Structure 1
Amino acid sequence: MDDLLLLVPRLPFPPNKGDKIRTWQLLLFLARRYRVHLGAFIDDKADIPHIPQVEASCTSTHFERLRPGLARMRCAGAVLRNESLSLHYYRRPAMREWVRNTVSQHGIARMVAFSSPMGQYLADYPAARRVVDFCDVDSDKWRQFAERRRWPASLMYRYEAIRLLRYEQKMAMACDAALFISKAEVNLFRRLAPEAAGRTHVLCSGVDTAFLSPKRAYDNPYPQGTQPLVFCGAMDYWPNADAATWFAQQILPGVRSKHPEVTFWIVGARPTPQVKALAALPGVSVTAAVPDVRPYIAHAVISVAPMRVARGVQTKVLEAMAMAKPVILTPPALEGIDAESGMELLLAHSADELVGMLRAALELPPASLAAIGRAARRRAEMSYGWQARLSGLAELLEDQWKMDGSARTWSGA
């Protein structure tokens, strides 16, 4: 087995938490084919006990504590240098030195970085085969944030959108392959960076359909006599917080006016003060982090994904589908997911339509809702298994993909 360097922004465990799902599956897939040397940041002390599980799949590791508050303060230097805030957030001399020593000691010729900020650590190795899993077009995410936030936040987000895109363009041209979570993300990036079109590829996310089994027995976390709607996701991530707030304030009252037994459960780690305040509204509960999200999905009547801003494939939607749970969602939450509205999930295009669709769904016979859930489960099993999703990565790391002879170096931010 050859050696491979893998760099991720967060410890890829527990494997059922947000962006860790994809990085954990990447690690497992690569560890079956290479001796993996893993570098990762730890931004939550609760992750520290999980280090041994991660080390078991690696030949060597380097874990570096990242304190979010201090990291944000360091980003001030990016403005002075006219550089991306995201890159400065994850820029650490100790990580760069570990990469240099590991590459030299093990003669590493294959490198994978998850997310554009981690790609900066590959810049000094043009002779290696370098793959960057962008996952989403992060620069466009910041652009969307700028359009929805007030000044001065909008100014900062617009600044980051421009600077990060500039770096993404350089990096995509220099690496051997730039991976994105869906065809829609690939098409967007090819419009933003047409010179790198030949290096961009789809690497869709999947779900662990064995872990997310609707056949297992889960304790019911909800009070008796209620009809819970559940929304899952990291609640310090602004698109999730925005979706939860919009649903609780604008959608739920219209649903409860006809179905007062309906409750809305916001399940996700690190809820912002804005999200926590939603618990004061009638019928709204905010859990913060939970040991296992599956009981909340399994015992909900419907899983909702009322995203107004989104990038890439929404894992929360795939998880609910795998759990055979009916999903009602908005167009941004459906992007990149191959599923038929009306059969495998339900799509609402406006607030009024979302209210009406939820009312109608709650009045369906239980067997009809269950049929939608079963169809969703079948789609998850057929189309979103991880091994099939990741199979193309092995080819990109070997010599089966030809370079076009363009520049292979990048620097700066």
Structure 2
Amino acid sequence: MKILMLTYDLPYPLNSGGKIRDYHYLKLLSKDHQVTLLSFYRKDDQVKEISELKPLAEKILMVKRRKVWSIKNIIRAGFSTLPFSASTYVSKEFKELLSKELEENYDLVFFDSFYSAVYLPYVSKFGIKTYLGNVNVEWQIYYRFANKAMIFLRPILLFDVLKMKIFEKKLWKVADFNTAVSSLDAQAIKKATGKACPVAFNGVDLASFKKRKVDKESRNIFFIGNLKYAANEEAMRFFLRDIFPKLSQILPEVEFKLVSMHRPNWILRYLKNPRVEFIEDSKTPSSKFLSKADVTICPMRVASGTNIKVLESMAAGVPVVATTIGAEGLALEAGKDILIADSPLDFAKSIAKVFNDPAFAENLSEAGRELVTEKYTWESSFKIFEKEVLYRVSLTK
């Protein structure tokens, strides 16, 4: 089958959940299909990463995405029906490349996310089958974020959320095929479209994650995530401001390591604490950091979809403490596979329990790794995509 895959960012290096999913789907697609990759990229040094992707695609086309926070983009969004975050992806150059590719008799155009799907209504006019991989319900993320913003900003943010909700539902209806990564998201899509939405969940590459060796003297907590992503930023502000001080009173020797490709200025005040370390890194595989972790955290409060960081931690045998939203959409049993806590004190106590009860921590580790091995691999996720999308496309040929 001939497939044109559109991605919001070049799917390498593997330093964000969306890029990890895109990379593994591209890798699995390339085994039996001809794939052309048309992708945005953000930084000039990403261009050299094409060498890692060339074996997976017949052709790779790239367009640099403009900066989000520019006067031009803000003005454009203000006079557009598109939400602010989507308007960033409106590009004359990208559309011209896309138009040229659509003359090449593709069987399917694969939109990896809400952001690449800015071009879905345009592509739908060509009569080519379209697929939208909904890794989140985007408007829900921004709705949760808007409700936590300062009061004077809420009307502006909520108006943009309304535009996003309208546009996202339009995309679901226009796409010939949708999948979601969680049953909650699938229900929302089904309600909007009237059509069943299969769940092609997020996964892990098990071969990349060996179970870590436990160091009984170590007290390392890790969070691995891009702080340019608003949901990650909010989670880390919450953890460092409200949770870590309480945890330090319970376990004064505990150390927190935050790994991100970007170091924002707001975090500098927290780095004055010698037990808080920031590791600026965009290329080291997460498995290297997880091998040194005793606990990983996912204190998300404004997320949607499912968190790959939770699954990767479990694959490495690292106990995870998360908020309800941080673990949302995953088939996890609290207290067996993961610890769930939403208040700062409960979250701190849950982390302390892992350190203070080695037998309990080992049980969490074993249960989490077993669950991921059985249910959450990229191969098993891709099989659902093959059955629900590729097979159905083949029937129309």
- Same fold per TM (> 0.5)? yes
For the 8 Å contact 2:142–2:302, the answer to whether it is kept is no
Q: Which residue of 2 aligns with 1:322?
A: 315
Matched, 1:11 2:10: yes
Matched, 1:245 2:245: no
Q: Which residue of 1 aligns with 2:131?
A: 131
Question: Offset of 1:245 from its aligned partner?
Answer: 1.7
Which of 243, 249, 263 is the matching residue for 1:257?
Answer: 249
Q: Sort the Cα spacing of 1:248 and 1:161 in 2 relative to 1 into closer, same or farther, 3 A.
A: same
**TM, length-normalised to structure 1:** 0.88
Question: Offset of 1:70 from its aligned partner?
Answer: 6.4
Which whole-Å deviations, capped at 9, do the CAs of 1:68-115 have from their partners, x for residues lacking one?
A: 2566732421211343223320011111111111121x2113111011
Q: Sort the Cα spacing of 1:226 and 1:395 in 2 relative to 1 into closer, same or farther, 3 A.
A: closer
Question: Offset of 1:402 from its aligned partner?
Answer: 11
Which of 216, 227, 231 is the matching residue for 2:223?
Answer: 231
For the 8 Å contact 2:190–2:196, the answer to whether it is kept is no
Deviates more, 1:339-348 or 1:116-125: 116-125
Q: Which residue of 2 aligns with 1:383?
A: 375
Q: Which residue of 2 aligns with 1:295?
A: 288
Deviates more, 1:61-70 or 1:315-324: 61-70
Which whole-Å deviations, capped at 9, do the CAs of 1:251-289 have from their partners, x for residues lacking one?
A: 112222132110111111113222343212352111122
3-state DSSP of counterpart to 1:311 = coil
Counterparts of 1:146-161 in structure 2, within 5 Å, are: 146-161=146-161
For the 8 Å contact 2:181–2:305, the answer to whether it is kept is yes
Question: Offset of 1:319 from its aligned partner?
Answer: 0.8
For the 8 Å contact 1:395–1:401, the answer to whether it is kept is no
For the 8 Å contact 2:107–2:393, the answer to whether it is kept is no
Q: Sort the Cα spacing of 1:94 and 1:401 in 2 relative to 1 into closer, same or farther, 3 A.
A: closer
Q: Which residue of 2 aligns with 1:214?
A: 211
For the 8 Å contact 1:278–1:286, the answer to whether it is kept is no
Provide the rounded CA distance (Å) in 2 between the counterparts of 1:276 and 1:336.
33
Counterparts of 1:1-400 in structure 2, within 5 Å, are: 2-15=1-14, 17-69=16-68, 73-104=72-103, 106-126=104-124, 127-191=127-191, 193=192, 196-198=193-195, 200-214=197-211, 227-281=219-273, 283-289=275-281, 291-364=284-357, 366-398=358-390, 400=392
Provide the rounded CA distance (Å) in 2 between the counterparts of 1:276 and 1:315.
27
Provide the rounded CA distance (Å) in 1 between the counterparts of 2:31 and 2:93.
28
**Residue identity in the other structure for 1:45:** D
Question: Offset of 1:13 from its aligned partner?
Answer: 0.9
3-state DSSP of counterpart to 1:90 = coil
For the 8 Å contact 1:241–1:275, the answer to whether it is kept is no
Provide the rounded CA distance (Å) in 1 between the counterparts of 2:303 and 2:198.
20
**Residue identity in the other structure for 1:161:** V
Deviates more, 1:310-319 or 1:75-84: 75-84
3-state DSSP of counterpart to 1:41 = strand
Q: Which residue of 2 aligns with 1:407?
A: none
**Residue identity in the other structure for 1:275:** I
Which whole-Å deviations, capped at 9, do the CAs of 1:213-254 have from their partners, x for residues lacking one?
A: 226x89x9xxx9651111111111122112112111211122
Q: Which residue of 2 aligns with 1:406?
A: none
Provide the rounded CA distance (Å) in 2 between the counterparts of 1:112 and 1:227.
43
For the 8 Å contact 1:12–1:21, the answer to whether it is kept is yes
Provide the rounded CA distance (Å) in 1 between the counterparts of 2:120 and 2:92.
13
Provide the rounded CA distance (Å) in 2 between the counterparts of 1:12 and 1:370.
34
Question: Offset of 1:345 from its aligned partner?
Answer: 1.4
3-state DSSP of counterpart to 2:86 = helix
Q: Sort the Cα spacing of 1:360 and 1:122 in 2 relative to 1 into closer, same or farther, 3 A.
A: closer
For the 8 Å contact 2:143–2:158, the answer to whether it is kept is yes
3-state DSSP of counterpart to 1:21 = helix
For the 8 Å contact 1:139–1:160, the answer to whether it is kept is no
Q: Sort the Cα spacing of 1:399 and 1:340 in 2 relative to 1 into closer, same or farther, 3 A.
A: closer
Moved over 4 A (4+): 69-72
Provide the rounded CA distance (Å) in 2 between the counterparts of 1:69 and 1:121.
18
3-state DSSP of counterpart to 1:5 = strand
Question: Offset of 1:379 from its aligned partner?
Answer: 0.8
Provide the rounded CA distance (Å) in 2 between the counterparts of 1:292 and 1:276.
25
For the 8 Å contact 1:234–1:271, the answer to whether it is kept is no
Q: Sort the Cα spacing of 1:156 and 1:270 in 2 relative to 1 into closer, same or farther, 3 A.
A: farther
Question: Offset of 1:313 from its aligned partner?
Answer: 0.5
Question: Offset of 1:54 from its aligned partner?
Answer: 1.2
**Residue identity in the other structure for 1:12:** P
**Residue identity in the other structure for 1:114:** D
For the 8 Å contact 2:319–2:354, the answer to whether it is kept is no
3-state DSSP of counterpart to 2:12 = coil
**Residue identity in the other structure for 2:169:** Q
Q: Sort the Cα spacing of 1:369 and 1:147 in 2 relative to 1 into closer, same or farther, 3 A.
A: same
Question: Offset of 1:18 from its aligned partner?
Answer: 2.9
For the 8 Å contact 2:8–2:113, the answer to whether it is kept is yes
Structure 2 unaligned regions, length at least 5: none
**Residue identity in the other structure for 2:159:** Y
**Residue identity in the other structure for 1:168:** E
Provide the rounded CA distance (Å) in 1 between the counterparts of 2:53 and 2:10.
8
Q: Sort the Cα spacing of 1:210 and 1:399 in 2 relative to 1 into closer, same or farther, 3 A.
A: closer
